[in-house]
Amino acid sequence: MDGIGPLSKKLFSAAKEVIPGGVNSPVRAFRNVGGEPFFVRRAKGSRIEDVDGKSYIDYIGSWGPNILGHAPTVVTNTIHEVAKSGVSFGIPNPFEVEMARTVCDWVPSVEKVRMCNSGTEATMSAIRLARGFTKRDLIVKFDGCYHGHSDSLLVAAGSGALTHGEPDSAGVPGDFARNTAVLPYNRPEALEELFAREGEKVAAVIVESYPANAGFVLPRPGYLELLARLSREHGALLIFDEVMTGFRLGKAGVQGIEGLSPDLSCFGKVIGGGLPVGAFGGRAEVMDQLAPDGPVYQAGTLSGNPLAMAAGLAQLRELARPSGYPRLEQLGAHFEQGLRTLLDAKGVPHRLNRVGSMFCLFFTEREIVNVDDVMKQDMEFFRKFFWGCLAKGIYLAPSPYETGFLSLAHTEADLDETLGVFDEVLGGI
């Protein structure tokens, strides 16, 4: 099934000699689809080109941040101009203030925000802040929700639905995992039982409000409201991880869609314009516990980097135009309708989740409620589908556990071309 070009193969062989696994992030290794990755030479708009000269319509967009498409002129010009004055200072710069004001203006639950350099830093810092504010240790997370690779959050479910977690990686001490309880997502009875038993110990509940790292899973009606209510009743903080969904599904992300106000929120991706970035923010009384005003320490030399802040602001200004989010919804609806029609006509068992410009196709008839359902889809069918699409110039996530992304650079012609390829590939499986 591997159709990767010779120069990509040569580069991957060289990479494996000096980079663990040949990649700087595991999903890039294509292990979930049984092959080797291609290497990208350039990208523009909705398309990427590999080092062997093959072009693909891209539905990854650097895993979410490239919401305007690849190398949008408004962002690249901004980076070029700002870089002339310096790329990093380690001293406050005006772009930090403008970005913080924009985040606070767009997300009503955020009264103060602090910048950092990645989603992992954002969630790690929010957890430390929640523990410092509540003076409690226990964190509640959900199986299948990924919040970066910090020790407290790289924890999997234990042997039972209500046990404390177990390390999900070598190198994570058991003591860290014992302070993290892991529950199945979308199971209200498990959440209610845990709070009834240990509610006074819970510092925070952290959740990918729309989980997007184990496919794309949507909450059952009332589930997020239950999270908010139980957290509030027991004095725990509610943390929304909106690293994927923030500023992609609307100005206020999932919390804007659902009408909820978490105590803390974590962001990344879109607000960096394609450069490394993270942020966490929330209620002022909580955020004021951060140093230098409070006892909770958090720092970063490159936090609020002028290039990332300026690039992100340029991107957000484009999204704020009338042709921004409504256009993304229009593209998403066009793609969803065409894909559902095609799959129904082919008689392919499937589930399709889509909100705005985020989507995920599951090859199963099961209702997708949480990661257990995602793992029971037809993995071999997905593998054949992925390689068939890649061979014909369509780049989807190289894993059945990842979300797809549309951008403002995609056109109806791109989507229709993609659906045509899907038709051909499905006909050959």
Q: What is the mean pLDDT of residues 89-96?
A: 96
C-alpha closest to that of 404 among 61, 3, 158 = 61
Q: Tell me, what's the pLDDT at 163?
A: 45
Q: Tell me, what's the pLDDT at 170?
A: 80
**Which position among 50, 56, 141, 269 bears the catalytic label?**
269
* b/e sequence 352-381, b meaning 16+ C-beta within 10 Å: ebbbbbbbbbbbbeeebbbbbbbeebbbeb
C-alpha closest to that of 216 among 27, 59, 404 = 404
Is the pLDDT assigned to residue 275 strictly greater than 60? yes
CATH architecture of the domain with residue range 6-71+323-428: Alpha-Beta Complex (3.90)
Active site residue 241: yes
Q: Tell me, what's the pLDDT at 126?
A: 98
Please count the other Cβ atoms lying within 10 Å of the Cβ belonging to residue 169.
10
Active site residue 146: yes
Q: Tell me, what's the pLDDT at 174?
A: 74
Is the pLDDT assigned to residue 172 strictly greater than 90? no
Rounded-to-5 percentages of helix, strand, coil across the chain: 40, 15, 40
Pair 175, 187: CB distance under 8 Å: no
Q: Tell me, what's the pLDDT at 3?
A: 73
Q: Tell me, what's the pLDDT at 276?
A: 96
Range of weakest confidence among 23-32, 66-75, 357-366, 386-395? 23-32
Is the pLDDT assigned to residue 420 strictly greater than 70? yes
The predicted-structure confidence for 110-163, as pLDDT tens digits, reads as follows 999 999 999 999 999 999 999 999 999 999 999 989 898 876 777 665 434 334
DSSP secondary structure string for all residues of 37-97? ---EEEEEBTEEEETTS-EEEES-TTTTT-TT-BS-HHHHHHHHHHHTT-S--SS--HHHH
The predicted-structure confidence for 244-264, as pLDDT tens digits, reads as follows 999 999 999 999 999 999 999
Q: Tell me, what's the pLDDT at 290?
A: 98
Pair 96, 117: CB distance under 8 Å: no
Contacts for 338 with CB less than 8 Å, ≥ 6 apart: 415, 416, 419
State the Rg of the chain over Cα: 21
Q: What is the mean pLDDT of residues 62-91?
A: 97
**Which position among 50, 58, 143, 241 bears the catalytic label?**
241
**Residues forming CATH 3.90.1150.10 domain(s) in the chain:** 6-71+323-428
- The residue ranges of DSSP E strands in 153-210, in sequence order, are 155-156, 166-167, 180-184, 202-207
Is the pLDDT assigned to residue 169 strictly greater than 90? no
Active site residue 297: no
Q: Tell me, what's the pLDDT at 149?
A: 82
The predicted-structure confidence for 357-410, as pLDDT tens digits, reads as follows 999 999 999 999 999 999 999 999 999 999 999 999 999 999 999 999 999 999
Q: What is the DSSP letter of 167?
A: E
Q: Does domain 73-319 sit in CATH 3.40.640.10?
A: yes
Q: Tell me, what's the pLDDT at 167?
A: 66
Helix 223-233 and helix 188-198: axis angle, to 10°? 0
Residue 119 to residue 269: CA distance in whole angstroms: 8
Residue 14 to residue 23: CA distance in whole angstroms: 11
Give residue 294's pLDDT band: very low, low, confident or very high (50, 70, 90): very high
Residue 105 to residue 94: CA distance in whole angstroms: 17
Range of weakest confidence among 28-32, 101-105, 119-123, 151-155? 151-155
The percent of residues in the chain predicted with pLDDT above 70, rounded, is 95
Give residue 165's pLDDT band: very low, low, confident or very high (50, 70, 90): low
Amino acid present at 292: P
Computed over every residue of the chain, the mean pLDDT equals 94
The predicted-structure confidence for 186-211, as pLDDT tens digits, reads as follows 999 999 999 999 999 999 999 999 99
Q: Tell me, what's the pLDDT at 369?
A: 94
N-term to C-term CA, the chain: 12
Q: Tell me, what's the pLDDT at 162?
A: 39
Q: What is the DSSP letter of 303?
A: T
The percent of residues in the chain predicted with pLDDT above 90, rounded, is 89
Does residue 286 come out as left (phi exceeding 0), alpha (psi in the -120 to 50 range) or beta?
Answer: alpha
**Residues forming CATH 3.40.640.10 domain(s) in the chain:** 73-319
